[in-house]
Structure 1
């Protein structure tokens, strides 16, 4: 057994309890996996007393997970607030409609809604002009609204 395996055997239960006191069981399991992945990648940086370092890493991973949840909630809210959308769609409906769009439209909408980027920032990422991004983003929103409107009631 190598040092990392021994570290995991000693630390996994304290980390599991640490996370269970801070979040729901499913998120705790995901964050535990993320924490161990970070530990593996940075195993040469782990100090002699690893548990405090692992707790700090778990806190950071949990914060990242919570940010993802908030980002997704903001996306749902933004899409629901679009004036042409007849009703606030359920999360699954949005994902189904989004999946029906082109890869480019999906990326534009994700950068705009999930990452909260402006057309100018998106233009930098996609190597386009801000004007081109604004036009394509407007079309992508319209296509998403059309897909949502065409969905049968779930």
Structure 2
């Protein structure tokens, strides 16, 4: 048997199985979860059945399998896929709750970072990405090199130069020395 014939037989077995189990699995899932989740879980179930077509008990080389032989195992697959979907929903909900709590705990008046963002925007796209990976994501130059496709040495050089340009840009915005008034220390006479 050639590989192409084997694929055709596998596909025919799956199509026969799918034709037999799609409706019962759809009804099974409708009784157990919300209507908006049914199609996603059913799709995931069918994907697992495709991947594990050789493991389905009662599914021989016959084009039409016996429902009593294959449905119980397929229900078990659907049950597992539904459990996975529920766990994923739970994780998403916990994340949203955590983000809401974090947002509520944040200080009411956020600091104005518009000058910093303007200074970042003045950098080239690659330099801006290198700085953000370093400052916001906490990556080392070696890790940034892996993420950007540069060498670690090139990242270090770009980072050094970008930080210098940022400092110069931010210093121009605030020409006076921090904490000092312009006329401080001069006599008024």
Aligning the two structures, in what range does the TM-score lie when normalised by the shorter sequence? 0.5 to 0.7
For residue 31 of structure 2, the aligned residue among 21, 29, 33 is 21
Matches within 5 A, 1:3-152: 3-48=13-58, 49-82=69-102, 83-84=105-106
* Residue-by-residue CA offset, 1:35-64 (whole Å, 9 max, x unaligned): 000000010000001111110110110011
Please state how far the C-alpha of 1:25 moved relative to its aligned partner: 1.5
Return the alpha-carbon distance in structure 2 between the equivalents of residues 72 and 46 of structure 1: 32
CA distance in 2, matches of 1:2, 1:70: 37
2-structure distance, mates of 1:104, 1:72: 25
C-alpha distance in structure 2 between counterparts of 1:85 and 1:70, whole Å: 28
Greater mean alpha carbon deviation, residues 71-80 or residues 32-41: 71-80
Higher share in helix: 1
Count of aligned pairs between the two proteins: 91
Describe the SS at the equivalent of 1:2: helix
Q: Which runs of 5+ in 1 are unaligned?
A: 87-101, 109-154
RMSD: 2.3
Which sections of structure 2, spanning at least 5 residues, go unmatched? 1-10, 59-68, 109-128, 138-189
Distance 1:44 1:12 in 2: 18
When residues 85 and 51 of structure 1 are mapped into structure 2, their CA distance, relative to the original with a 3 A threshold, is farther
CA distance in 2, matches of 1:7, 1:104: 49
Which of structures 1 and 2 has the larger relative contact order (alpha carbons within 8 angstroms, sep 6+)?
1
Structure number with larger C-alpha Rg: 2
2:124 match:
none
Report the TM-score, using the length of structure 1 for normalisation.
0.54
> Secondary structure of the equivalent of 1:72?
helix
Pair 1:55–1:81, CA change in 2 (3 A):
same
Q: SS state of the match for residue 14, structure 2?
A: helix
Could you tell me how far apart the structure 2 residues matched to 1:27 and 1:63 are?
A: 12
